[in-house]
Each structure stands twice: as structure tokens, then as C-alpha cells.
């Protein structure tokens, strides 16, 4: 019997999850889709799935074995807690919650469930952990193939910032990926951060400082730099290079198409992050479904990982409001 999945949110990410679960993920069936826009839900859902504008109806349905939360960030914590009440496994898109207080509430509830049942119901969608490039980079770093890591350089560039993006939401929604992947890759927690911005692009709206430059120091002494540019215009690219004692290791560029013609060469660049991380999303979903089918704990990021990223984000926001001062990350 397939795992019957209900998907909350039929926007960009929700629709992609529905498509993957319906076409490329083995052992899954989308049986219910919830979205405030019933028409959008109907467009994204497979013909056999039920449609609702009420997420609670989906969560408590006898036709749903597991839930994917892909709705607005502000709804994540509340919907995850509802899934906990129904004792339904849930895969929540990042972030765990937009505020630290909400993240703490979810982690506390998750801990209660683990204490009572021995297993967590929550998986968190930090999909870069399943990207073949980041996985290979992590293996190289942790195997010390080139000696001790010294410095990590990251960039994350989008074609255009989403409506209403602020310096704070750029951290909690975009930079949050690096705030998770760096300690995962180095196997060392982030202990100190800083946020800086210089000259802003004329395409940055609403007073947004863009690009932003962030530094992260981990407990092992490695320094990471992150350039976050949300209005780069040319498309979506991400990079990560680890400088070690004996050399460097980095991700390949994210071009999808190489064109050579009339004495010149061009590379096609994706418009957003989805083509770049298509494999990661599929591998993450398959790992989740396969674990649920066998009764195992899914090998995805969990509640504590989400809280740790939120704590680092909180320190980064504090640095933002403190003229870029280096700010310690408190995990207590």
C-alpha cells in the first residue's frame, strides 16, 4: 500500500512536491491537497485527490497517512503542531518557523512525542543535505582529503527578490540554507556571526540592503563567508568552496545548458532554485517516503536542526541591527 500524502500549500514548492510525489517518488500517492485558493489546489492536485481550503480537514482526514507542509512560512509552526496532535508524520518546508519563540514551541512538543513514543514525527526540508554536490563536498571535508578546512566561501544569488522581502526575511528564508548546511558539512556548530551590507543594487526595493555579506565562525575555528544577492537579475546560482590546507574543493557551477556557436560559448542559467536542486528535492522526498513505509525514522533534518538554524538566524538579525557587530550564538 502506498503512503497516502496530503500536501498543504499548492504554490511553487507545493505544486512541485505534488508533481514529484505523483510521478517520480515510489510508494507514494497524493490523496488530499489544501490551499486557501481552491482553484490553485485543483490545478496542482492529481485528478483523484480531494481538495480543501481548510488545512485542518486534511490533517485529520482518515485518507492521509503523512503531511507535507509547503504553505507560507508564518503557518509552519501551527500546522506542524496540528500534525503532532493528530500523530501524523509531517515533512515541513524550511524554516521550522519564522520566529524563535515558535521554533522553541515546536521543538518542545517534538521532544514530548519522542519521550512518549521513541520517535519524532517531524522532518524538515533542508533539501541541500540530499544534493549530490553538497553530499560529496561533505564527504571530502569530513574525510580530510585535503587536510583541515580553513575557510569556506559561499554565494547565493537569485534573479529577483520576492515581494515584501526584508533584510530579516532574507536571513530566515534564504540564508537559512547556509546556516544549516555549514555546520552539517563541517560537523561543527556555528558560534559567532556578523552581517554587513555595502552599496545596494538599484533593483533592491523597499529599503532592502542587497547584496548582503555574512560571516559565520564555527566551533572548529573555520570561517565561512556568504554573499547573499537576491536581485542578481541573471538567474539563480549557488556556490560553495572549501579552502583546506592542501587545496580547495567546491561545487560545480549550476548551469544547465552549454552552447557553443560562432566562436563563442554560452551557459544557460536557471531562473530560480528548483532546477538546480531538483535531484535534492526528489531524493529527500524518496528518503522520507521509504522510511515511513518501513517504520524507520526518516534521515532528514529534524526539529533540533531547525531550532539551531533559527538560533543562528536570530544572532545574524541581531548583528544586522547592531551595525554588523560580531554576535555570539547562544544554544542554551
- Please provide the size of the chain in residues: 332
CATH number at residue 223: 3.30.360.10
**Among candidates 224, 109, 107, which has minimal Cα distance to 177?**
224
Question: Do 173 and 222 lie in a common domain?
Answer: yes
Start-to-end Cα distance in the chain:
43
Question: Is there a contact between 119 and 156 (Cβ–Cβ < 8 Å)?
Answer: no
> Residue 193 falls within a domain, yes or no?
yes
Question: Is there a contact between 70 and 14 (Cβ–Cβ < 8 Å)?
Answer: yes
Percent of the chain residues topping a pLDDT of 70: 97
Question: Do 97 and 166 lie in a common domain?
Answer: no
* 271-325 tens-digit pLDDT: 889 999 999 999 999 999 999 999 999 999 999 999 999 999 999 999 999 999 9
* Dihedral Cα 133, 135, 138, 140, nearest 10 deg: -70
Question: Do 72 and 161 lie in a common domain?
Answer: no
The mean pLDDT of 59-81, rounded to a whole number, is 98
Question: Do 45 and 138 lie in a common domain?
Answer: no
Question: Is there a contact between 21 and 47 (Cβ–Cβ < 8 Å)?
Answer: no
> Residue 62 falls within a domain, yes or no?
yes
Question: Do 226 and 290 lie in a common domain?
Answer: no
pLDDT at 329: 98
Q: How far apart are CA 251 and CA 239, in angstroms?
A: 6
Tell me the β-bridge partners of 28: 3
> Residue 190 falls within a domain, yes or no?
yes
pLDDT at 271: 86
Check residue 278 and give left, alpha or beta (phi > 0: left; psi -120 to 50: alpha). Answer: alpha
Question: Do 70 and 152 lie in a common domain?
Answer: no
Residue, of 264 and 75, whose pLDDT is higher: 75
Domain that holds residue 238: 128-276+311-328
Strand, coil or helix: what is 249? Answer: strand
> Residue 52 falls within a domain, yes or no?
yes
Q: How far apart are CA 212 and CA 319, in angstroms?
A: 12
Percent of the chain residues topping a pLDDT of 90: 92
CATH number at residue 109: 3.40.50.720
Question: Do 321 and 285 lie in a common domain?
Answer: no
Question: Do 106 and 152 lie in a common domain?
Answer: no
Question: Do 115 and 164 lie in a common domain?
Answer: no
Question: Do 133 and 241 lie in a common domain?
Answer: yes
> Residue 9 falls within a domain, yes or no?
yes
Query: Residue 71 carries which DSSP code?
Result: S
> Residue 285 falls within a domain, yes or no?
yes
Question: Do 226 and 198 lie in a common domain?
Answer: yes
* 235-258 tens-digit pLDDT: 999 999 999 999 999 997 655 566
pLDDT at 98: 85
* 127-160 tens-digit pLDDT: 999 999 999 999 999 999 999 999 999 999 999 9
> Residue 306 falls within a domain, yes or no?
no
Number of domains in the chain: 2
> Residue 38 falls within a domain, yes or no?
yes
The mean pLDDT of 76-80, rounded to a whole number, is 98
Helix-helix angle 132-142:176-186, to 10 degrees = 40
Question: Do 33 and 155 lie in a common domain?
Answer: no
Amino acid at each position: 500500500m502506498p503512503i497516502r500524502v496530503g500536501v498543504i500549500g499548492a504554490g511553487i514548492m507545493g505544486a512541485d512536491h505534488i508533481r514529484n510525489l505523483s510521478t517520480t517518488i515510489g510508494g507514494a500517492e497524493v490523496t488530499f491537497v489544501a490551499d486557501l485558493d481552491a482553484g490553485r489546489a485543483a490545478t496542482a492536485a492529481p485528478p483523484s485527490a480531494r481538495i480543501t481550503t481548510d488545512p485542518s480537514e486534511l490533517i485529520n482526514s482518515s485518507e492521509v497517512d503523512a503531511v507535507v507542509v509547503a504553505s507560507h512560512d508564518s503557518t509552519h509552526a501551527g500546522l506542524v503542531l496540528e500534525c503532532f496532535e493528530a500523530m501524523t508524520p509531517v515533512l515541513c518546508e524550511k524554516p521550522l518557523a519564522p520566529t524563535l519563540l515558535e521554533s522553541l514551541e515546536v521543538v518542545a512538543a517534538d521532544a514530548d512525542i519522542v519521550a512518549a513514543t521513541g520517535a519524532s514525527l517531524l522532518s524538515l526540508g533542508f533539501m541541500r543535505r540530499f544534493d549530490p554536490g553538497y553530499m560529496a563536498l561533505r564527504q571530502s571535508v569530513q574525510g580530510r582529503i585535503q587536510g583541515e578546512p580553513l575557510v569556506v566561501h559561499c554565494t547565493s544569488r537569485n534573479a529577483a527578490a520576492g515581494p515584501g522581502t526584508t533584510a530579516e526575511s532574507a536571513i530566515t528564508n534564504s540564508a537559512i540554507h547556509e546556516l544549516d548546511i555549514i555546520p552539517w558539512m563541517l560537523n561543527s556548530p556555528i558560534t559567532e556571526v556578523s552581517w554587513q551590507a555595502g552599496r545596494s543594487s538599484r533593483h533592491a526595493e523597499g529599503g532592502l540592503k542587497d547584496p548582503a555579506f555574512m560571516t559565520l565562525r564555527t566551533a572548529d575555528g573555520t570561517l565561512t563567508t556568504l554573499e547573499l544577492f537576491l536581485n542578481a537579475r541573471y538567474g539563480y546560482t549557488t556556490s560553495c568552496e572549501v579552502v583546506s590546507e592542501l587545496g580547495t574543493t567546491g561545487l560545480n557551477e549550476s548551469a544547465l545548458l552549454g552552447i557553443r556557436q560562432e566562436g563563442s560559448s554560452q551557459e544557460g542559467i536557471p531562473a530560480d532554485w528548483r532546477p538546480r536542486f531538483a535531484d535534492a528535492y526528489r531524493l529527500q522526498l524518496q528518503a522520507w517516503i521509504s522510511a515511513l513505509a518501513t517504520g524507520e525514522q526518516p534521515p532528514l533534518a529534524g526539529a533540533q536542526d531547525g531550532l539551531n538554524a533559527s538560533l543562528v538566524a536570530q544572532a545574524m538579525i541581531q548583528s544586522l541591527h547592531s551595525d554588523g557587530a560580531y554576535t555570539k550564538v547562544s544554544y542554551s
